[in-house]
């Protein structure tokens, strides 16, 4: 029988773990897997680039990660059961690593006793995907960005793993046109030092707002006002950071807020999140959503409802507390589904829809971050049950609750806390300096590699 062809779009943490799981399931005799990645290398958002706007090929820059970004959650919550941080670095390391350390760890797993590079076509962008009901095949239009040549390929299954945090949501405010300082979205933020001695207005009240305000103060900004639309973050902020209701308009460099107050500012950082964007998917295959704990029109948050015989998957669509381990169990579910190794799948469409309805109902009751954590823990537990993935990963749920409480206690010191690995039982050591003072985010400084 001819091998089924599987197209994976994107070689970030999601796409890579799909390739890794196919390889571990020794599926080469059953499926022919090809991954298209528009960048020159793997890693997705974890690959830092100084570039903003367009990349070297003239394509939109993908990653909005910045210098001196440190993990915003404990590494013990994203550790792979089969490949621990201790195994990778040969020693225990602190709980909140900087970006290069996490990227190195990911790369370690992708190269440990496995060779995934042959599956990937780098510098190749997917421009269009459509489905032909008659032969049950996807046609995928790709362009090799090095040679500027295009091609159509045919596949039986498509896995979209292009991420949800790369197309910025950029609102407008009256008076910004004549504002004289710098205005940028967090996607274009690269180095906090640029804002030394400046008075900042940070729009938004989520992870990016929290981290950019802290980063900029850490690297010498004069002050930061975080302005919120729905509710304030409510942390006990270090001196210099405050929160105010939403900015209404700008008059020159004066920002006017909803509570009638005003302030003179030097730069505006729009930390206003991202848009789900899959422009390369044909209309009826395109998932549409805002940031959510469980995406609409999917079974298990993964299989897109195309009809009775769906062959399209999306990965990593959820607002992320869990990340790498969630992607890993999602990938295992998808791989086993395609290989026919999930005992209860495929189910009739009506059953799938009924199952999803239960998740949507639970989703509608979520109120706090702690509710979200429990919801995501239950989601992962469900996928573990289906796939046989190590259910101990869900022990991270308790750690996430502790982490939220640590943030509430002191937002400037939560990254100095130490957590215990679920899989080695080792409690992480403290870093040599508190996060607020630690300015060297190299692997050498963090891991103390010789």
| Alpha-carbon gap, residue 440 to 99, rounded angstroms | 11
| Alpha-carbon gap, residue 227 to 205, rounded angstroms | 7
**Contact between 203 and ligand NA7 per CB under 6 A:** yes
Q: Which residues 241-260 are close enough to bind ligand NA7 by CB under 6 A?
A: 246
Count of residues binding ligand NA7 (CB under 6 A)?
20
Which one among 163, 295, 301, 397 touches ligand FAD, defined by CB under 6 A? 163
Nearest to ligand NA7 of 123, 227 (CB atom): 227
Backbone torsions φ then ψ of 267, nearest 5 degrees: -150, 150
Q: Which residues 317-346 are close enough to bind ligand NA7 by CB under 6 A?
A: 320
Instruction: Give the contact letters, 162-201, x = binds to ligand NA7 (CB under 6 A), - = no.
Output: ---x---x-x--------------x---------------
Which one among 27, 63, 84, 205 touches ligand NA7, defined by CB under 6 A? 205
Nearest to ligand NA7 of 63, 387 (CB atom): 63
Burial class (CB in 10 A: 0-12, 13-18, 19+), 270: buried
**Contact between 126 and ligand FAD per CB under 6 A:** yes
| Alpha-carbon gap, residue 162 to 286, rounded angstroms | 13
Which one among 5, 6, 22, 36 touches ligand FAD, defined by CB under 6 A? 36
Q: Cis peptide before 79, with omega less than 30 degrees from 0?
A: no
DSSP characters for 97-151?
Answer: -BHHHHHHHHHHHHHTT---GGGEETTEEEEEEEEETTTTEEEEEEEETTTTEEE
| Alpha-carbon gap, residue 309 to 348, rounded angstroms | 9
Instruction: Give the contact letters, 284-313, x = binds to ligand NA7 (CB under 6 A), - = no.
Output: -------x----------------------
Which one among 34, 125, 329, 443 touches ligand FAD, defined by CB under 6 A? 125
Other CB atoms closer than 10 Å to residue 343's CB: what's the count? 8
Other CB atoms closer than 10 Å to residue 117's CB: what's the count? 13
Q: Where do the DSSP E strands lie in 246-394?
A: 247-251, 254-257, 262-264, 267-270, 298-299, 303-304, 312-314
Nearest to ligand FAD of 82, 308 (CB atom): 82
User: Based on C-alpha coordinates, what's the Rg of the chain?
Assistant: 22
**Contact between 11 and ligand FAD per CB under 6 A:** yes
Positive/negative CA dihedral, 213, 215, 218, 219: negative
Question: Smallest distance from the beta carbon of 101 to ligand NA7, in angstroms?
Answer: 16
Question: Smallest distance from the beta carbon of 431 to ligand FAD, in angstroms?
Answer: 16
Which one among 21, 84, 253, 272 touches ligand NA7, defined by CB under 6 A? 272
Contacts of residue 390, defined as CB under 8 A and 6 or more positions apart, other chains included, come to 81, 82, 384
Which one among 27, 166, 394, 428 touches ligand FAD, defined by CB under 6 A? 166
Instruction: Give the contact letters, 37-76, x = binds to ligand FAD (CB under 6 A), - = no.
Output: xxx----xxx---------------x-xx-----xxx---
Q: Which stretch binds ligand FAD (CB under 6 A): 191-199, 229-237, 304-312, 315-323?
A: 315-323
Contacts of residue 64, defined as CB under 8 A and 6 or more positions apart, other chains included, come to 45, 165, 166, 168, 185, 186, 187, 188, 189
Q: Binds 97, which of ligand FAD, ligand NA7, none (CB < 5 to 8 A, cut-off by type)?
A: none
In the complex, which residues of this chain contact ligand FAD (CB under 6 A)? Answer: 9-15, 36-39, 44-46, 62, 64-65, 71-73, 78, 125-126, 161-163, 165-166, 280, 316, 320, 323
The residues that touch ligand NA7, with contacts defined as CB under 6 A, are 72, 165, 169, 171, 186, 203-209, 229-230, 246, 271-273, 291, 320
């Amino acid at each position: 029988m001819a091998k089924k062809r599987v197209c994976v779009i994107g070689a970030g943490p999601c796409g890579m773990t799909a390739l890794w799981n196919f390889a571990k399931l020794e599926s080469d005799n059953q499926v022919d897997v090809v991954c298209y990645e528009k960048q020159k290398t793997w890693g997705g958002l974890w690959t830092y680039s100084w570039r903003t706007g367009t990349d070297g090929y003239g394509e939109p820059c993908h990653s909005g990660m910045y210098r001196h970004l440190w993990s915003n959650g404990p590494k013990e919550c994203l550790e792979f059961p089969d490949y621990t941080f201790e195994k990778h670095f040969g020693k225990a390391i602190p709980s909140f690593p900087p970006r290069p350390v996490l990227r190195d760890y990911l790369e370690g797993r992708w190269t440990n006793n496995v060779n995934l590079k042959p599956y990937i076509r780098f510098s190749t962008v997917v421009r269009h995907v459509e489905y032909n009901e008659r032969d049950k095949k996807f046609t995928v239009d790709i362009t090799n960005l090095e040679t500027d040549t295009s091609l159509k390929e045919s596949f039986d299954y498509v896995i979209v793993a292009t991420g949800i945090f790369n197309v910025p949501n950029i609102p407008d405010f009256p008076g910004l046109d004549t504002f004289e300082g710098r205005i940028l979205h967090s996607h274009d933020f690269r180095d906090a030092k640029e804002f030394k001695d400046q008075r900042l207005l940070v729009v938004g009240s989520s992870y990016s707002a929290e981290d950019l305000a802290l980063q900029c103060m850490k690297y010498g900004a004069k002050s930061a006002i975080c302005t919120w639309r729905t509710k304030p973050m409510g942390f006990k902020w270090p001196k210099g950071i405050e929160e105010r209701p939403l900015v209404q308009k700008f008059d020159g460099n004066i920002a006017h807020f909803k509570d009638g107050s005003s302030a003179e500012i030097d730069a505006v950082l729009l930390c206003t999140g991202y848009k789900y964007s899959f422009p390369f998917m044909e209309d009826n295959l395109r998932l549409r959503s805002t940031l959510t704990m469980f995406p609409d029109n999917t079974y298990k948050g993964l299989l897109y409802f195309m009809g009775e015989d769906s062959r399209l998957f999306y990965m990593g669509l959820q607002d992320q507390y869990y990340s790498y381990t969630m992607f890993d169990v999602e990938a295992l579910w998808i791989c086993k589904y395609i290989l026919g190794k999930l005992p209860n799948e495929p189910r009739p469409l009506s059953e799938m829809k009924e199952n999803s309805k239960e998740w949507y109902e639970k989703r509608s009751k979520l109120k706090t971050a702690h509710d979200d954590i429990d919801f995501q823990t239950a989601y992962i537990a469900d996928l573990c049950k289906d796939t046989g993935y190590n259910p101990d990963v869900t022990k991270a749920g308790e750690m996430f609750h502790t982490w939220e409480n640590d943030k509430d206690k002191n937002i400037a010191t939560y990254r100095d806390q130490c957590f215990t690995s679920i899989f080695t039982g080792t409690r992480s050591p403290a870093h040599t300096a508190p996060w607020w003072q630690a300015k060297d985010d190299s692997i050498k400084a963090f891991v103390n590699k010789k």
